[in-house]
């Protein structure tokens, strides 16, 4: 172990590209970006649904106000994920001289975003039914849009896991001289 600027790093990792990338920061950023995309694109731009639009359809000003409030609470939660990710990234990156892996960043972002889609899709769309992905289509097609959202989330999650696994595997088998 080697001490450096208030933290201890494993010997040999301080100058290695991609060493000790804070995957949790990337996952938090991915969770936040997934939420921002959902809230900005699906709630506001396309107006396919709002946070509670199945329970309180947008048929009155009162329901629109209630949904807008809960959209704002939802955005606030996704903002917290991004702030936490930034905090973790800042804490881990402060004073570093090595570069981190773009593959680890992309993989962790995909894991976070895919996880967001899966959790949000399963809980909000399927379990609670507070809204569905596209409520502008005929009701019998809502489930197909929800499945597409889940499939998109699963594809991102698996792609992210694959990128992280591939990066870890390459680092483990690469000669030490190539890892620096």
The residue length of the chain stands at 180
Residue 8 lies in a domain: no
101 pLDDT tier (thresholds 50, 70, 90) = confident
The pLDDT tens digits for 60-69 are 999 999 999 9
- Using CA atoms in the order 70, 71, 72, 75, what is the torsion angle rounded to 10 degrees? 120
Residue 3 lies in a domain: no
Percent of the chain with pLDDT over 70: 82
- The single-letter DSSP state of residue 73 is H
Q: At what angle do helices 102-120 and 142-173 cross, to 10 degrees?
A: 150
Q: Which domain holds residue 42?
A: 22-179
Q: Total structural domains in the chain?
A: 1
Residue 164 lies in a domain: yes
The pLDDT tens digits for 75-95 are 999 999 999 999 999 888 887
Q: What's the pLDDT score for residue 19?
A: 58
Residue 10 lies in a domain: no
The whole-angstrom separation of Cα 160 and Cα 8 is: 28
**Phi-psi bin for 20: left (phi > 0), alpha (psi -120 to 50), beta?**
left
Q: Report the SS3 class of residue 140.
A: helix
Residue 5 lies in a domain: no
Residue 117 lies in a domain: yes
The pLDDT tens digits for 3-18 are 444 444 444 444 444 5
CB of 19 closer than 8 Å to CB of 66 = no
Residue 6 lies in a domain: no
Residue 115 lies in a domain: yes
Q: What value does the mean pLDDT take over residues 23-49?
A: 96
């Amino acid at each position: 172990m080697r001490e450096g600027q208030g933290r201890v790093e494993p010997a040999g990792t301080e100058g290695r590209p991609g060493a000790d990338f804070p995957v949790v920061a990337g996952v938090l950023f991915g969770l936040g970006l997934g939420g921002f995309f959902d809230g900005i694109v699906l709630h506001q731009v396309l107006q396919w649904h709002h946070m509670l639009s199945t329970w309180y359809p947008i048929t009155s000003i009162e329901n629109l106000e209630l949904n807008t409030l809960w959209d704002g609470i939802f955005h606030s939660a996704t903002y917290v994920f991004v702030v936490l990710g930034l905090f973790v990234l800042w804490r881990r990156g402060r004073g570093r001289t090595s570069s981190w892996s773009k593959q680890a960043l992309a993989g962790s972002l995909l894991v976070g975003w895919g996880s967001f889609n899966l959790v949000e899709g399963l809980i909000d769309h399927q379990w609670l039914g507070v809204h569905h992905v596209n409520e502008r289509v005929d009701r019998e097609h809502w489930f197909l849009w929800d499945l597409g959202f889940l499939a998109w989330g699963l594809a991102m999650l698996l792609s992210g896991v694959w990128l992280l696994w591939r990066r870890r595997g390459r680092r483990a088998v690469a000669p030490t001289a190539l890892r620096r």
